[in-house]
Amino acid sequence: MLRRSFGGRWAGGLLRGGVLTLLMASQASALPPGFVWLDAARPEIAFEARYASADNFLGRPVEGYGEPRIVVSEAVAEGLARAAADLAKDGLGLKVFDSYRPQRAVDHFVRWAGDEADAVTKARHYPRIAKRDLIPQGYIAARSGHSRGAAVDLTLISLETGQELPMGTPFDFFGPESASEHPHPDPQAVANRARLRAAMVRAGFKPLKEEWWHFSLETEPFPDQYFDFPLE
């Protein structure tokens, strides 16, 4: 787990009904009310900040992800704690790839989806879908529950080894094979998806049928707000 202090400042914004309100904090580790750093709030939950690295479907760090950490809303953190406790009984844990996502990152995704010349990650992330179809098919959206502090992307790990369990496709694989209840030929992957889904539903989340890794809170903390403060 990452353990370090951060200096400097951050500046971000909150979209309310289309109006951008500037948010400021005196310390980089300080967050708007209702948000926490995952590693500080729930150190028992593993994470890998994919969008702060080049290991993602853009093939480069995403705008707004200045630090390799994960921010979650307090409501998401509480739900994850419930799911982790449930899974721990079977020797399983959670590994989070993303939760809170700045609106500027969502905008970066949309710009990337419109650039058909950039196909560096096609073979790994969308081999059988034309890039121009990623938005119409719902894999990329201009507004996201992540920016409302309501969503989380994650997978299962073994608590003994820390290794990810097979789920049939990688995280952020765009295609029908990633659907939550897709009849994957690997029965272990099917079982793992079902185990993750069951634990998250019991913890107060609802699954996204198109993506086995994506879950949103049944009751959102900020249903009408889209945040844009960066992770730094």
Which CATH entry fits the domain spanning 35-227: 2.60.120.10, 3.30.1380.10, 3.90.245.10, 3.40.630.30? 3.30.1380.10
Q: Does residue 30 register a pLDDT over 90?
A: no
* Long-range Cβ contact pairs of 75-78 (< 8 A, separation 24 or more): 75/34, 75/149, 75/150, 75/217, 75/219, 75/220, 75/221, 76/100, 76/149, 76/150, 76/151, 76/152, 76/217, 77/36, 77/38, 77/41, 77/42
- Give the E-state strand segments of 53-121 in sequence order: 71-73, 92-98
Give the contacts of 10 (CB within 8 A, at least 6 positions apart). Answer: 24, 25, 28, 30, 229, 230, 232
What are 21's strand-pairing partners? 14
Q: What is the mean pLDDT of residues 19-47?
A: 74
Q: Does residue 22 register a pLDDT over 70?
A: no
pLDDT at 184: 86
* CB distance 155 to 97 below 8 Å: yes
Two tokens, residue 74 = 């307090």
| pLDDT tens, residue by residue, 35-67 | 999 999 999 999 999 999 999 999 999 999 999
* CB distance 63 to 102 below 8 Å: yes
Q: Does residue 2 register a pLDDT over 60?
A: no
Q: What is the mean pLDDT of residues 121-142?
A: 96
Q: What torsion, rounded to 10 degrees, do the Cα atoms 197, 172, 106, 221 define?
A: 10
Question: What are phi and psi for residue 48, nearest 5 degrees?
Answer: -145, 105
Mean pLDDT of the chain: 89
Q: Does residue 28 register a pLDDT over 70?
A: no
Q: Does residue 117 register a pLDDT over 80?
A: yes
Per-residue burial over 162-186, b if 16 or more Cβ lie within 10 Å, else e, is eebbbbbbebbbbbeebbbebebee
| pLDDT tens, residue by residue, 151-191 | 999 999 999 999 999 999 999 999 999 999 898 899 999 99
pLDDT confidence band for 26 (50 / 70 / 90): very low
Asked if 211 is an active-site residue, the reply is yes
Give the contacts of 168 (CB within 8 A, at least 6 positions apart). Answer: 177, 178, 182, 184, 186, 189, 190, 193, 212
pLDDT at 160: 97
From the list 48, 78, 210, 211, the catalytic residue is 211
| pLDDT tens, residue by residue, 83-102 | 999 999 999 999 999 999 99
